[in-house]
Structure 1
Amino acid sequence: MTAPTAAVHRRGRRWIEHWDPEDAEFWENGGKRIARRNLAYSVLAEHIGFSVWSMFSVLALFMGPEYGIDAAGKFFLVAVASLVGAVLRVPYGFAVARFGGRNWTVFSAGMLLLPMIALLFVLEPGTSYGTFVAVAVLTGVGGANFASAMTNINSFYPLRLKGRALGLNAGGGNIGVAVVQLAALLVIGVAGADRPRLLLAAYLPLIVLATLCALRYMDNLGPVTNDTGAAREAAADRHTWIMAVLYIGTFGSFIGYSFAFGLVLQGQFDRTPLQAAALTFIGPLLGSLIRPVGGQLADRRGGARVTLWTFVLMTAASAVVITASIRASLPLFVTGFVLLFILTGVGNGSSYKMIPAIHEAGARSRGLTGEAASAHARRLSGAAMSLIGAVGAIGGLGINLALRQSFVSTGGGTGAFIAFACYYVLCAFVTWAVYLRVRPLAAAGRNTAAGRNTEEMPANRDRHGPLTGSAPGR
């Protein structure tokens, strides 16, 4: 969503007016230290944002029969949070260049206090369902932090290091889902399932800490401005929407399953809150930790190939979950779900690595070479990432709505799991058909809105070529 320009002088000592991470001397003589500091505090704020975003999926474990909300109603609450977080990712992505990465991180981290304070007041039996829906809307702001954090950190790092930096930023944020689930397990185990306010109170000082750290230690980049032309071009490029479909299958599955796992364990397998909490954190934890591995595999094997095999294996893992659901086998169900979480983590890393490669291939198809091609790829991939991240997060909404409907119709989630498996088959086919199928050389002349049809470039014959996913400049 951003593009470097000539230095723009702005008031304030936390603005850096010259930033050129591609200059090796600049990078080694202070640039690297500044980038790492901003990455560290970005991860902290984003991590807590993910915890707040997934709060209702955890609080559902505390909301017993006295709250008068059935399984379908709880699925709807987490679906609302998913939707709001996804929609807000687009304006949050633009906000970094408009207000500054440090300034927006301070604001967005401070905003997390609103849903937590609201929950402290309303989380008790007798509160109306409409009130809970309104607070679920507020928790959605935590999911939007991902877009602004990724946009901000993308500007700090040179192209050759973006993959690792973005992987750490995203993985550190994603793991906030597992941490809040572990915290809930601790509260339930020590104080009981009737003390959810202890969990909420524990996060209030953490939010304040993240806000103050961003205020004290982060920086704004003056040379970064919104590039609305790139945003329009990315939106007109069919590859943005194709990749969004794939990202629904990877990240959408990760966040949707993270929100839904505990609810399914309670609603379908009659687990107590403590029993459910003891299992729910495992999948999100492993899925978060393995995300950088997906990017590294994509570097070596090609992003499209890794993504294809990820969807094939996700289909197989879904078959395990479906079988376990039909047989009411909890051990098999948990095994299949944990495998799904791990695979979504791998797919998150590999699919994100495909984006700059696709746009560099598009630049080359236009006749650009060297730094000109890389600059074009950076310009469009930054805009595309925000759009793809927003659409991908909607997958979490779809998963929770599908599970809600399945529980309403049949009392269990089997029907929804079958639908998810079919979607993974579709994603595998799309990945193969668009980014891996070898086509005649003459087909490379067809045009798209962003240039020629990049997947038809002959480079897709080379497993280290741009179409199979090696990041530009590597």
Structure 2
Amino acid sequence: MTTTATPAGETTVPPSRRTRRWIEDWRPEDPDFWESTGRQVARRNLIWSIFAEHLGFSVWLIWSVSSAFLVATGFDYTPQQLFLLVALPNLVGSLLRLPYTFAVPKFGGRNFTMASAALLLIPTLGFAYAVQRPETPYWVFCLIAATAGLGGGNFASSMANINFFYPSAKKGAALGLNAAGGNLGVSLIQLFLPVIVGGAGIFGLVKASEGGIDLQRAAWVYAGLAVVATLAAYFFMDNLSTATSSPREQMKVVRKRQTWIMAFLYIGTFGSFIGYSAAMPLLIKLNFWVPEPAPLGTGIYFAYFAFLGALVGSLTRPFGGWLADRLGGAKVTLGAFAAMVVFTLAVLWTLMQLTPNPTADPAIASANQSWFPWFLSFFLCVFAATGIGNGSTYKMIPAIWRTEAERATAPGTPERTAALLAGTKQASAAIGVIGAVGAIGGFLIPMAFSAPWVADPMSATKGAFLVFTGFYVICGAVTWAVYLRRPAEVHAQSLAGAGI
């Protein structure tokens, strides 16, 4: 058993439940500690956290592209039913983010990463079972799709864990990289699943697996990766004894006004990213492609382009965190919402040029194809803005709680040290709440596109983009009014003055 020296020079004995994978002394805000020890340990945990979160996102979004192949494999589902299969994992994933955040202080970041990675065997093995049986009832598909939400919960626990490892000045970049690595899971599942299952190659550079579409192959691949992630967390990650908090203590953040303001903004940024990522394959398939003549049909084959949006949004997320570290999170977030307004309207404009194709006429699909480059270009700009906004909003969260701790205490005092530690714990809890609320956008967006109360799918899609544009205007106005307006209320002034 080892002992640890406290700041006062006293010696404490670690609790008996601690193993060698628990770190008792962790002071990331101490420059000497950070340079000598902290940086290397934090980087190692970040790398494997990214891997586990990346896998979680992949499983979370496995239905986003596989649903587009279900009809080709013998399942007779309507567009509304397919959009529901896409949306359900997002709903469950958003609901799980809060308990997943609380699990990190309770069980330890390493321990819960192992557990959450192992849980991914449930949706992957369930997926493999269902897609091999065309007689599987639709409600069973809905249930299995809902379990894919386990992968969505991984984001909150991973972000809460990494938040404890890094000093305040480096949280923006670290959280941005962690989130971007996870977000890339969305793009890669959409890129490689068609290849793995035999649905499509990659622009002729990589050929699809032969033998027809075989969806269960993807499930076996990701089930194997879930085992790898579990073992990697066991061997290479650490728990922090300083990352302790009771659920009651953590839930104090729900009484804070800033928590709900940031949650609202996060619906606009991350909710849009995950919602558009989930819906994009079906949007392309329904508006720009018809299945005749087989095998690739007429128009734009969705499997070639579905991954691009998530890829762009993932790559720009760390850039948003980097910009926020230098310019202030609120300024970058406001710019992101402004761009989302402009480019969402541009996407809507391209849709208005299309001819509705309720009978799947190849001639209409061919005519609509000429507008696809504009649709894709503007949509990718929307994704880029969501990624930048994701990075900047997550920079704002720990900065808000750190600023409040600094305002309430004097520099260099024990009270300041204790307040900063408590602020870090509350920021991690806030990340869970904000992430849970924000991810609900991933459920609402596909449901808005399906809009069963609108008979014409094209009209439902246009109406949805118009509503989204109005929402982004409101998000931008809230960002300006709360964090950037001059003059503003005293609390908001202090937050903006701190570079938030």
Corresponding position: 1:259 with 2:278: yes
CA gap of 1:156–1:47, structure 2 versus 1, over 3 A, is same
Paired residue for 1:96, among 104, 119, 124? Answer: 104
Question: What percent of counterpart residues are identical?
Answer: 45
Corresponding position: 1:136 with 2:110: no
Corresponding position: 1:83 with 2:125: no
How far apart, CA to CA, are the structure 2 residues paired with 1:350 and 1:58? Answer: 28
Corresponding position: 1:63 with 2:61: no
Paired residue for 2:395, among 324, 347, 353? Answer: 353
How far apart, CA to CA, are the structure 1 residues paired with 2:22 and 2:454? Answer: 53
Superposition map of 1:389-400 within 5 A: 389-400=435-446
CA gap of 1:364–1:206, structure 2 versus 1, over 3 A, is closer
Paired residue for 2:213, among 170, 189, 194? Answer: 194
CA gap of 1:131–1:347, structure 2 versus 1, over 3 A, is same
Corresponding position: 1:422 with 2:470: yes
TM-score, normalised via structure 2 length: 0.85
Residue of structure 1 equivalent to 2:450: 404
Give the deviation of 1:13 after TM superposition: 2.7
CA gap of 1:376–1:206, structure 2 versus 1, over 3 A, is closer
Corresponding position: 1:247 with 2:293: no
Superposition map of 1:380-395 within 5 A: 380-395=426-441
CA gap of 1:357–1:11, structure 2 versus 1, over 3 A, is closer
CA gap of 1:405–1:117, structure 2 versus 1, over 3 A, is same
Choose 14-23 or 254-263, whichever is displaced more.
14-23
Letter in structure 2 aligned against 1:53: W
Q: Secondary structure at the match of 2:476?
A: helix
Paired residue for 1:295, among 321, 340, 345? Answer: 321
Residue of structure 2 equivalent to 1:284: 310
Corresponding position: 1:455 with 2:462: no
Paired residue for 1:29, among 36, 44, 56? Answer: 36
Contact 1:89 1:144 in 2 (8 A): yes
Letter in structure 1 aligned against 2:462: T
Give the deviation of 1:229 after TM superposition: 5.3
| Larger Rg over CA atoms | 2
Residue of structure 2 equivalent to 1:169: 178
Give the deviation of 1:154 after TM superposition: 1.4
Give the deviation of 1:164 after TM superposition: 1.7
Letter in structure 1 aligned against 2:95: V
How far apart, CA to CA, are the structure 2 residues paired with 1:217 and 1:375? Answer: 25
How far apart, CA to CA, are the structure 2 residues paired with 1:406 and 1:314? Answer: 26
Residue of structure 1 equivalent to 2:486: 438
CA gap of 1:327–1:104, structure 2 versus 1, over 3 A, is same
Residue of structure 1 equivalent to 2:188: 179
Residue of structure 1 equivalent to 2:123: 115
List gaps (5 residues or longer) in structure 1. Answer: 445-453, 470-474
Q: Secondary structure at the match of 2:134?
A: coil
Q: Secondary structure at the match of 1:281?
A: helix
List gaps (5 residues or longer) in structure 2. Answer: 1-5, 201-207, 355-370
Corresponding position: 1:308 with 2:334: yes
How far apart, CA to CA, are the structure 1 residues paired with 2:345 and 2:390? Answer: 21
Give the deviation of 1:234 after TM superposition: 1.4
Q: How many aligned residue pairs are there?
A: 449
Per-residue deviation, residues 416-454 of structure 1 (Å, max 9, x unmatched): 1111111101101111111111126xx42xxxxxxxxx2
Higher helix share: 1
Letter in structure 2 aligned against 1:62: F
How far apart, CA to CA, are the structure 1 residues paired with 2:407 and 2:486? Answer: 16
Residue of structure 2 equivalent to 1:332: 374
Letter in structure 1 aligned against 2:456: T
CA gap of 1:22–1:359, structure 2 versus 1, over 3 A, is closer
Contact 1:265 1:271 in 2 (8 A): no
Q: CA RMSD in A?
A: 2.2
How far apart, CA to CA, are the structure 2 residues paired with 1:352 and 1:431? Answer: 14
Contact 2:48 2:232 in 1 (8 A): yes
Give the deviation of 1:365 after TM superposition: 4.7
How far apart, CA to CA, are the structure 1 residues paired with 2:128 and 2:145? Answer: 13
CA gap of 1:67–1:429, structure 2 versus 1, over 3 A, is same
Residue of structure 2 equivalent to 1:472: none
